[in-house]
């Protein structure tokens, strides 16, 4: 595995431009890009209009398609995106910032690019040397808001009793799947214990252990998760189970399995040259 650029929760912001421009100009070595969803529905106090967000999306899409066609890139869906994509999600789990004025335009964007988007993406990394006969690789799962054990236990039959990019992506193929994706947890004002991989708050990915300590939760079949959705004022939440990277800047999952701020990553690469 090489270096993976992770860009979370754009919401019309232009912070993707610098790292993408650096990749195009050859200033950094990146092998793959993962966008974790939520491209529209800007935060109005930031001074970004719905129109700005739409223009920002078309610029992003054109830049990637025109200049990075030989690179692997993945556009994941976020909760804000799915309101424009599916009627069940629109009815049960739409965001308070959903655009009514530009609804048809945004719906058209997702319909026209339906094959571009996924709910989940995974990377399997060889373990050298393997710790056991069963541990030949580590699986890193990318989604918008993370898969938490409570939601998985409730829907494991629907998922074929496994958490994988394939099983999660299959949820968009049925009404039952979209109903499961529409679940919003108590922490986000919903009526379920925890939210889906589109709506889970980062707090849904912690639990209280036998000693009363709050520790990161995990899915047995997944070694590590990377997601966004729960915006932080400054710094991401990174621990030994997951990385929640929604803080208005880009990050890199390095070939050494470290997650670092893109600015630091670029300085490290410059120092090597």
| pTM as predicted | 0.95
d(C-alpha 218, C-alpha 88), whole Å: 28
pLDDT digits (tens, 9 = 90+) for 191-248: 999 999 999 999 999 988 888 888 999 898 899 999 999 999 999 999 999 999 999 9
* 165-171 contacts at long range (C-beta below 8 A, 24 or more positions apart): 165/118, 165/120, 165/121, 165/122, 165/141, 168/119, 168/120, 168/143, 168/197, 169/118, 169/119, 169/120, 171/119
pLDDT digits (tens, 9 = 90+) for 154-199: 999 999 999 999 999 999 999 999 999 999 999 999 999 999 999 9
Q: What percent of the chain has pLDDT over 90?
A: 85
The helix/strand/coil state of 88 is: helix
d(C-alpha 49, C-alpha 163), whole Å: 37
Count other C-beta atoms under 10 Å from residue 257's C-beta: 12
Spatial contact of 215 and 207, defined as CB atoms under 8 Å apart: yes
Enter the tokens of residue 271. Answer: 């120092």
pLDDT for res 220:
84
pLDDT for res 208:
84
pLDDT for res 135:
64
């Amino acid at each position: 595995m090489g270096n993976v650029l992770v860009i979370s929760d754009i919401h019309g912001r232009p912070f993707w431009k610098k790292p993408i421009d650096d990749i195009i100009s050859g200033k950094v070595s990146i092998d793959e890009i993962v966008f974790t969803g939520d491209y529209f529905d800007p935060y109005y106090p930031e001074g970004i209009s719905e129109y700005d967000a739409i223009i920002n999306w078309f610029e992003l899409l054109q830049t990637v398609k025109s200049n990075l066609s030989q690179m692997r890139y993945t556009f994941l869906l976020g909760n804000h995106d799915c309101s424009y994509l599916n009627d069940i999600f629109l009815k049960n789990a739409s965001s308070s910032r959903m655009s009514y004025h530009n609804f048809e335009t945004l719906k058209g964007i997702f319909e026209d690019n339906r094959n571009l988007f996924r709910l989940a993406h995974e990377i399997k990394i060889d373990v050298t040397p393997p710790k056991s006969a069963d541990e030949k690789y580590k699986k890193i799962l990318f989604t918008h808001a993370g898969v938490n054990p409570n939601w998985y236990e409730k829907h494991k039959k629907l998922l074929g009793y496994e958490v994988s990019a394939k099983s999660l992506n299959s949820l968009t193929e049925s009404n039952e799947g979209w109903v499961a994706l529409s679940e919003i947890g108590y922490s986000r004002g919903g009526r379920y214990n925890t939210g889906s991989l589109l709506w889970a708050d980062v707090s849904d990915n912690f639990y209280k252990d036998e000693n009363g300590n709050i520790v990161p939760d995990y899915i047995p079949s997944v070694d590590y998760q990377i997601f966004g959705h729960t915006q932080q004022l400054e710094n991401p939440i990174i621990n030994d189970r997951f990385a929640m990277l929604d803080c208005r800047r880009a990050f890199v999952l390095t070939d050494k399995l470290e997650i670092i701020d893109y600015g630091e990553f670029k300085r490290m690469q410059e120092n090597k040259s």
